[in-house]
Structure 1
């Protein structure tokens, strides 16, 4: 097992990883930008080192500086968290080059699954159902021809995409050329890769994902599914496990399919296979996330498996000590992302309590929220024996949560939780649009 680990991230996920390391007896090193000098993860780590200016490209996205910090502090491994360099194959390869363990899959697997076209081809070859669509498109003209065969509406998607970038819905032929160029340019700017492919737009549809762990011995275990259909601009707002729309029979089939997808990729460490599911219960492979997910806590709560600790153990060569038969999905867990609606200083801060209620965050009273990074301030997470009670618990927790001095989306989240469609589990990815506003 590692004795010293560097966390190549910030915010709540850096705090989450530091806490897991403390419980495992692992010495931690935090890296931080000039804007994060007073951040909570810096205070909690055993050692901290500044790696650059306030902007992400000057610090958290500079793989060379992060590896240099690991070498200088003699850290044996780097945990990338999510976002930033967590799915960057070049960074994973750089770690390996310098003899540092990257806590995640290999650079080769990250590259393979990060290329959506390659991933789709691999899934088709291994009997994993995929959404009707195309391979890489040469240009807008070829996209127009393909859409005519598939049928409108269609989704244009970046092959290297993620985080909602490089995606455009095209409902009519006259929209194609502009949508293709806009999405391609956006993908080129965000990922350095403007290649596009097309999928049939399924509507209404649910976004269902399966969390899994895979070790170096070839053991793959799925930790149930998560429902992630409450989204704004393709960014998730609320996640829950299990999905109220997935039966025991469907869950078994989903997990078998996700495990087959992971084995086909030769996957090792924690990963998530994402699917779209239609009203008839048919599901289609969308992508595989080769990192820890923001919403991982809901899977931990319903299965009792600490995903972060197992990421670290697997990276250290430890074999999973449980099998698929040992995993039982019990109770219900819900997570609401609390996002800032602008910069501000936290002048009052109250976190709700009670059994199985937690707020994963990096905030504290007096903290100045920097304007340079993701808007998420924290994750309100609850667990209960039934979904009905979990919903009531979340409503109570959100009403009690106060982040004063910083505009946020707490009230919007309360509105969603109170909605009858959410309570019934009868909601899809178009839920926010159906509210008639931009949403939370």
Structure 2
């Protein structure tokens, strides 16, 4: 099929390359000239495993091309809208300006029989608001939410665990659902569930999934607070809970909590939309989920202070991690960077290291010192703080080797990803969140 992808940020770049890789003719559209120039040369604008190779292959074969002119997408049969929906400045709701602008720009180039598929994460009711203008052109709007995990986005696009398509009632919706079946032919042939529903349900699937995952993370972090007060070990607690098949172990890792460009802003936008609908009490728990998450960042800082006699002024603190999670260079709402900034504000000489996220972190917080060399960050450090669970820190860093570099023997494990017994046996003061 001939496919356009409107918006070539994280979601759009991955989606465009993945669709081209399974046999479609794809054009990516974005207003950012520098981004389009890089993509057209096969260079990924973000760090995402597998994406650079996919771009080189699909751009090189001619299956994928890019443009800043939306008119170049006019001959396409399916248009995917993949622009961002950031949090509104000074408010919790979603900023839909980019979505609205994308639809307004696309509308003059729509024609009979075309399918427009929204993939952006939007408040429930957005698709219904946009559908009329699309329908007037003879095209049909569907809502096809994404469920990507940063670090596994290529895999999640080519081989998703489910495909959800929200369609309007009647023949037009049925026809559009069939068109999307053609788009995702390889996944469906592999047995991926294909769920056809209405607009509102499709929109809610995405935000509900994020709300549930955020709640699970904050739940175990709330248990970490109880564990700290009682002497329990939250990691053993999570292991025991995880054996219950109704609960599962995934997303029960206590630590400094979630961040990134999705979960924080999506749960806030969900709560804001519920309030607009007069259903504030229905998702009131999400405000506490958010509050618990933010508290854990402060707790990591408190652990550093407890181990340094109440003050970090003049102390050299090595912060291992800047991205909000490993296998990503995304620093949006990163708990790791938040901890670094707080320690810097308390007078510490902070040096931040990360295998991929240093350029993005430096652009966001230039007041901090950075290095991509882990050992350079560790050298002469009084305190080591692990805040992103990269393998470079979790698996490839021994307490003996670190001791040979540092000035102090204090390590705060903000992700509970290290072997506490091993570090203590090597003479370190080890502190984890929710651990004795």
TM-score, L = length of structure 1? 0.31
Instruction: Please identify which structure carries the higher strand content.
Output: 1
Give the number of the structure with larger relative contact order, counting CA–CA contacts within 8 Å between residues 6 or more apart. Answer: 1
| Bigger fraction of residues in helix | 2
Please give the TM-score of this superposition, normalised by the length of structure 2: 0.31
